Structure 1
Amino acid sequence: MKAMILAAGKGERMRPLTLHTPKPLLPVAGQPLIEYHLRALAAGGIREVVINHAWLGQQIEDHLGDGSQFGLSIRYSAEGEPLETGGGIFKALPLLGAEPFLLINGDVWTDYDFSRLQAAPKGLAHLVLVDNPGHHGRGDFRLLGEQVVDGDEAPGTLTFSGISLLDPALFAGCQAGAFKLAPLLRKAMAEGQVSGEHHRGQWVDVGTLERLAEAERLIGERA
């Protein structure tokens, strides 16, 4: 199975750190954020990774190279301008192939074991959900057994972790350009085509300087 890491965002809420460094390369407890994913993917048995990029993307390519230092083969999907989540994935599909692939937001840190996702989704997608963090108290989706449904702010709503297993068929009928992933997922949910699981371990959306410090604290506690 291949994996894709989304790394095209500008990281505007992390300025001034991201003015000259792309967010995936920001050091977290002494190691670039994206390297935590790469090492975890390699440990989980993944060997081929696609990374999309836009803002300061050449720095990402120069730093990570072909991925051999991590025991991986890395290919890049360069975007002249950000295509949002869905558009970025759609552009990279020729590199990902026809089989389901693992998708990871490049700006999260987690102790999730990626080897758990090396099976085809039961439908078009399988999402990893986490407890709602303080900055996203309303959550996104709910788990009904193994099925994921739209949250509607109901009790038991969880937050999408940014980790998922997607079938390329989810993007059938899409056109090149900028578009979001969430509407595709919600359409598939309405058709009963999205399964999920609740990860109760550690997870941080490293979207602000405060949350970067939180990730560093959790990593320090694990050392």
Structure 2
Amino acid sequence: MKSIVLAAGYATRLYPLTLNRPKPLLPVAGQPMLEHVLAALAPVRDITHVYIVTNARFADQFEQWARTRGSHAPFPCTVVNDGTTDDSNKRGAIGDIHFVLETQGVDDDLVIIAGDNLFSEPLAGFGEYCRQRHAPVLGVYDVGDLEQIKKYNAISTDADGRIRFFEEKPAQPRSTLTGIALYYYPRQTLPLIRQYVAEGNNPDQPGRLVQWMYTRTPFYTWRVPGLWFDIGSKETLEEADRIFRELARGRAGGAGA
């Protein structure tokens, strides 16, 4: 099993923090956000390699991270430069997934996660559920606010957790459950990703691939435990920093007990 960390965005909403620094390398509780992402993935059995896909503007900083701190990561990591330089020529998240598949010769089960999504709980259960299903799986989270859903997507499932309705950025959401940037695509579904791109579909938000694919093959959901942070503003960055510092203190206190 391989994993792709999506880290090629330009995070203009976080300027000036991200003007000269990629969002996934901003510090949260004293360490780069990316390291929290990899730590959440660490308990997912069978991941043998992680591809961190970024852009030409920030590739050097990720390479520097790989040389200095990457050796302590739970998996071997390869930084993949998608060759883009700004929002005007970006490939989009799905475009970047496809770019990694093609340039790195990936032909394996695949876990995809956004480099700015933080989890208070490890994702071991996600890995177990994906192995049981051996079908595409989307991580879902209850944001508790219909207005928030308008920024993400609306989703409904049957009793078995299979997606029955999915709409990216809905105008009139009816549920507070949303799909987040945590995906599992078993090897047999990779041709569908290539087909999506070849047909000229929107290569940007990764949820659009889910919206397209769930009508073509069974697509299941897994509820994310604990807290989930989508770091899209200075406020959510500060909140995540505070919560992760509290979690670190709690773990340190527990270890000393």
TM-score normalised according to structure 1 size: 0.88
Aligned equivalent of 1:175: 198
Query: What is the rounded CA distance, in whole Å, between the counterparts of 2:212 and 2:15 in structure 1?
Result: 35
- 1:132 alignment partner, one of 102, 120, 143: 143
Aligned partners of 2:36 and 2:221: how far apart in 1?
Answer: 23
Query: Alpha-carbon deviation of 1:171?
Result: 0.9
Q: Indicate the residue corresponding to 1:156 in structure 2.
A: 175
Asked whether 1:42 is paired with 2:42, we answer yes
Report the Cα distance in structure 1 between the residues aligned to 2:175 and 2:15, rounded to whole angstroms. 34
Deviating runs (4+, > 6 A) in structure 1? none
Tell me, in whole angstroms, the C-alpha distance in 1 between the residues paired with 2:157 and 2:105: 28
> Aligned in 2, Cα 1:47/1:41: closer, same or farther, shift over 3 Å?
farther
Specify the structure having the higher radius of gyration (Cα): 2
| Alignment gaps of 5+ in structure 1 | none
Please report the TM-score for the alignment, with normalisation by the length of structure 2. Answer: 0.77
Task: Tell me the distance in 1 between the aligned counterparts of 2:101 and 2:37.
Answer: 20
Q: Which runs of 5 or more residues in structure 2 are unaligned?
A: 85-89, 250-257
State the one-letter code of the partner of 1:210: E
- Residues 131-165 of structure 1, C-alpha deviation per residue, up to 9 Å, x if partnerless? 12656234422222211221564533412221111
SS across alignment from 1:172: helix
CA distance in 1, matches of 2:107, 2:131: 12
Code of the aligned partner of 2:148: H
Q: Structure 2: how far apart are the matches of 1:133 and 1:8?
A: 29
Aligned to 1:78: 81
Distance 2:138 2:74 in 1: 26
> Counterpart of 2:214 in 1: which secondary structure?
helix
Residue 190 of structure 1 corresponds to which residue in structure 2?
Answer: 215
Cα distance change of structure 1 residues 16 and 188 upon mapping to structure 2, 3 Å threshold: same
In 2 relative to 1, CA 61–133 (structure 1 residues): closer, same or farther, beyond 3 Å? farther
- Which range moves more in the overlay, 183-192 or 46-55? 183-192
- Whether the 8 Å CA contact 2:44–2:126 is kept in 1: the answer is no
> What's the Cα RMSD here?
2.5
Shift of 1:201: 1.3
Contact 1:34 1:107 in 2 (8 A): yes
The residue number in structure 2 matching 1:147 is: 162
**Secondary structure at 2:52 match in 1:** strand
1:28 equivalent to 2:28? Answer yes
Q: CA deviation at 1:206?
A: 0.6
